[in-house]
Structure formats: C-alpha cells, structure tokens
Structure 1
Amino acid sequence: MITCLDDPTADLVLTELHGRGVPVVRFDPGVDFPGEITLDAFFDGTGLKGSIDTPSRHLNLANVGAVYWRQPTLYRPSPELDQHAASWVADQSRFGLGGVLASLPSTFYLNHPFRNRDAEHKPLQLATAAACGLTVPHTLVTNRLDSARTFASQINETVFKPLWSTPYQADDGEALTIWAHVIDPDALDEGIAAAAHLFQEKVDKVADVRVTMVGERAFPVRIDGAPALDWRLDYRSLSYQPIEAPTAIVKGMHTYLDTLGLVFGAFDFCLTGAGEFVFLECNPNGQWAWFDEPITKQIAGAIADELTCAKGLS
C-alpha cells in the first residue's frame, strides 16, 4: 500500500484487509525513503529480485501479489542539501524506488502509477469519455482570446476549470485552490494567451452523481445540497443517496477504464432533469471515504476483493 500517512481512504481498505488476514506493507516513498526504508533491487536474466525493508516489515519484491497505489507524498530530500543537490536526489529517488515499485513482476496494480498519471489529463478524459459513448459538455481548451470569446458567446453560461489542481500562490503567500466557476465573458482578456485554459458549457443539472468504479462493480451515489457549481466547496451541506446508474452509462465507464488501463476510477456526472448523465471528469485515484456508511464499507470491500483475488491472496 503506497500512500501518505494521513489517508482515510487507504485506512478503510487497510482495515478491510487486516480483517481478512491479508499481510500488508504500507509506506510513503516520498517521506520514508531513504531515512526509514532501504532498497535492494537486482536485475538479471530472470528479471527483478530484491527487497524493501521498513522499520517493521521485510518485503520480498518477488512475492508482492498486489499494489494499492493511493497518494504518496512527493519525494523530500534532506533539508541539509542545497537546492540543486536536493532536486537531483529527489529525481534519483523517484526514478529509482518509484521505478522499482512500478516494475514488480506479475503484480496486480490498483491502479498502476503510470496509468494514473496518464489518466489525470482532462483532455484525455473528455476524448476517451466521448469515444466510450458518454455524453460530454461542449468544451474548449485554448490560449486564444478570440476563440474563448466566440465559444462563450455561443452557449448560455461558461464555466472555467483548471486543467490541473495546482496550488496557486497568492501575493501574501497563502496557498489557494482554483475551483470550477462560472465566468463573465466580458471579463475575458489577453491574459488567456499566457496558458492553456479549459472552458466548458454549464450543464443544467438537478444533482451531481459520483460513480466509484472498482473493476466490474459500480457504486453510483447521488449528491444533493451543493450550494455552488462545485460540490467540493461545502461537504457539510451535502446529502448522499445510492442510486442505480443506467446500463449504458455503466457500460461506457467499463469501456473507459479498459481503454486507459485502469481498475479504479471515480467518475463525476451532472444529472439533468431528464435523467441524463453528463460526464465531467474521472479521477483515477479519487476519494470516497467521506461518504456515509454503508457506502464506504461496500467500496472498501470491493477494492479488497480486487487486491486479494488478483493473485489468489484471499
């Protein structure tokens, strides 16, 4: 289990695996290496062999049945190093230990870190969703002001979304998050030329739907009570109701996962008054631990099933 220390989503799966008597080694490469864990990886004509040792566990790399890749921390070199040395050390650790963890022989990954990385690109998500038969809102990715203005003039309301959830540093040093929000077309200016921007038609919705896909199993949950466009802004106001997703939607999501080489995906849809599911995005490593019981228990069980059944560990 590869993740940071503060990860309630991984905690739920860990509890489920412990309850089944499945041996688990959990660590955070970015924080624990090289101070807390050591690596020996050998390569020859037979492939990869070796071990990783943590303060409490010895992991034989040839015997790893499955990897649950959650949210490890970025590699943190010693603060005693200067900037250039620190950057070099972090890269060596990421490509060294990270490369080994991504190359374990005959190992099941949920999900493989390289597939996660690829599937985080929103343009790829939208193109794949459309190819898989899912409804996608009219969307423009551009750095041209005239294109953005023309796009905004042709639809009712325009939403801006960041292409990547990069923390934004304010002038006072505070780290900010840029959420999806409706924009005023008159406010568009030459600043668009400085970067790629994603503009999307606002969907007239009655609710949101998060579908957590684990292998062949779908866990659709209707989300009501969001006071703003982006429901993540106020979790306290939300209510959740497990629902059934249309067969065509479930089929489209299965095809989406297969196309991108994923086992897990957290799909976000708008639900219209006509009952249509409109695809917004799919987080290949999305959270679900904030849901109410028994939703979390069901998802944790499904993930544990995938991890243990892949190589007969159950």
Structure 2
Amino acid sequence: MLVATEYEDPTADLVITELNRRRVPVLRFDPGRDFPDSCVLTARLSPDGWGGQLHVGERTADPGSIRSLYHRRPSTYTPNRDDQAARFIAQENRRGLGGILSSLPGCLYLSHPQAIARAEYKPAQLAVAIREGLSVPTTLITSDPAEAKSFVSEQPTIYKPMHAGAYDIDREPAGIWASSVDPGKVDDAVRHCAHLFQAQVPKVFNVRAVVVGERIFCARITSPPGVIDWRAEYRNLTYEPIQCPDDMRRTLVRFLAHFGLNFGAFDFAVTTDERWWFLECNANGQWAWLEDAAGLPITTAIADLLENGENNA
C-alpha cells in the first residue's frame, strides 16, 4: 500500500498508525519531493499493466502489486531552479512517475489524482450539485463589474475564492475566507479575474459531511452569531455528531461517483427549516480534527477501505 503525501501530515499519520496496528505493509513517500533524489523508479509495461520496482530509501514496492494508494496531499512536481532544463525535468517527473502512479493495475485509489484534479473546479461542483437535486445558493461567476454590482444589490451576498491557494499578507500565510460583499465596494477591479458571488444563506449552523466510500460521517458545526465562514473562528466553534438524512446519503454517494472519487468532505449551511444548502466539496479535505471533536471514526473507515478495497458499513 502506498501513501503519497507531504513530509509533515498528521492526518496521514493517523491512517498509517492504524494500518501499522493491523500489520498492513505501508510505504509512505512524497513523489514531488522524493523523486528522483531518494526515490528510484523502474517500470515495465506488460499485458497485465505496469510492473517493476519503486525504491524509496531502503524500501521497495512493485507497482503491479500495489493494492491501494492513499493520494493525500503530496508536493507538486516543481523545478529546483529557474531554467528551461529544470522545468523540463519537473514535467517529465510529473508525467513519468505521476503517470505510473495514476495507472496502477487493480489499485484502489483514495482518490485517483486525476479525479481529485477534476473535482477541484467549483463551477463543475455546483453544476453537478444542482443536477443531483441539492439546494445551491443563487450563484454568479463574472468578471463584469456591472453584473457583479447588480447581483450584490439584489440580495445579501458573499464572495469566496474558487481555489484555496497559498496567499500571504506581509509575508505571513493567510486564508481568504468567504465574506459579505458591500455593493458600494464593488468596483472596476472585478475585471481582473473571475469572481464567485453567492446569495447569503441565513444559516443556523454548518455541517461537514465526510464521505469515505459509501460511509458518511457528519458533524454539526456551530459558530458565533454573524460568522459567515466558520473556518475563520476555529477557537470559538462547537461540534457534535449529526445524522445524515437518507436521501442526502444517496445524493452524496452519487455526487462522488460522478467525479470518480472515493472520498469527499462536503460543506453545507443549514437553515431553520432544516434545509441543507450545498456550499462545496473538497476532494481531499481535512477531517482529522473532527474525529476527536465530534467522535467520528473516520480513521477506521479510511483504513478499512484501503486495507480491504471495499466498504465495511
């Protein structure tokens, strides 16, 4: 079994510890950082698919015998210097080792890296959510300042980025949280890129639903009054487990199946009428803190799926 993630990943550590307890052989590495310095690949194609050897330090795995791969949060394949040769090497590594890891015969992926990449596009998520019958706030994606101002003037509105990339303020890492939009502050800067605006849902609490295969674990997240994005108030949140409605369970499983995913961390806003409003799905979202905070056995579910290649609901 392979676990592909960055060097310091306490979430992956939980799963690896559980797999070690079960005596399941695990090889952990960071493809984008380890290859080719401390990782050597030899892969040969046969009618049965790719086989050969993947050496990481003193450990070796046969790509043709890998039963499952936990694609957690590995580093990207990046050049180690700014020149044409280094950029070429990085791209060859991504397509070479990355291509092998994406085409392992008989391997269960949690989840497949290409499926994760497809699911990262929020416009695609929202379209699938609507198709599957989920409630989705009225949404506008635009680079037109006039359209943005008109939309924001029609109802209470929030803005949120479509990608949670790295962002620094005064050389310190920061997050761009969902926030309310003042119509008077919508200006010509909207022209610089696509912006996502949504009608603000009058929520009473949030739900994070973590789906592992077909097993679903939900936590109610209650934040202080007036807080739009609960991620900005971690120290002031309360958690409790909550049941997922049966029709919602089926919908979430279908949603993941559309993208070919075996994992998803869904975020919902819940209103007084108990209506769950879909906000987004993170195909590789965080979940470890919820295990203790809400008593959700997510580590066990992930280990079950990786070990057995099936759901043990």
- Fold equivalence (TM over 0.5): yes
**After the TM superposition, which of the residue ranges 289-298 and 268-277 deviates more from structure 2?**
289-298
Give 2:305's aligned amino acid: E
Which of 1 and 2 has higher RCO (CA within 8 Å, sep 6+)? 1
Q: 1:271: which partner in 2?
A: 270
**Residues in 1 aligned to 2:87 and 2:291: alpha-carbon distance in whole angstroms:** 41
Q: 2:30: which partner in 1?
A: 28
Q: 1:118: which partner in 2?
A: 118
Give structure 2 stretches of 5+ with no counterpart: none
**After the TM superposition, which of the residue ranges 243-252 and 209-218 deviates more from structure 2?**
243-252
Cα shift at 1:82 = 4.1
Q: 1:142: which partner in 2?
A: 142
Give 1:265's aligned amino acid: G
Per-residue CA deviation, residues 90-146 of structure 1 (Å, 9 max, x unaligned), is 111111111111011111101000000000110011111111111100011111112
**Residues in 1 aligned to 2:303 and 2:291: alpha-carbon distance in whole angstroms:** 19
**After the TM superposition, which of the residue ranges 68-77 and 92-101 deviates more from structure 2?**
68-77
**Residues in 2 aligned to 1:28 and 1:188: alpha-carbon distance in whole angstroms:** 42
User: Structure 2 matches for 1:63-102, cutoff 5 A?
Assistant: 63-78=65-80, 81-102=81-102
Q: 2:177: which partner in 1?
A: 179
Cα shift at 1:46 = 4.2
Cα shift at 1:179 = 1.5
Cα shift at 1:169 = 4.7
Distance change (3 Å), C-alpha of 1:82 and 1:161: closer
Give 2:41's aligned amino acid: L
C-alpha contact (below 8 Å) 2:49/2:104 kept by paired residues: no
Is the counterpart of residue 301 in structure 1 residue 300 in structure 2? Answer: yes
**Residues in 2 aligned to 1:295 and 1:52: alpha-carbon distance in whole angstroms:** 39
State the number of aligned residues.
308
Look up the SS of the partner of 1:86 in the other structure. Answer: helix
1:56 to 45, 54, 58: 58
| Residue identity (%) | 44
Distance change (3 Å), C-alpha of 1:37 and 1:311: farther
**After the TM superposition, which of the residue ranges 46-55 and 294-303 deviates more from structure 2?**
294-303
**After the TM superposition, which of the residue ranges 229-238 and 104-113 deviates more from structure 2?**
229-238
For the aligned residue pairs, the C-alpha RMSD in angstroms reads: 1.8
Cα shift at 1:75 = 2.1
TM-score (norm 1): 0.93
Q: 2:201: which partner in 1?
A: 203
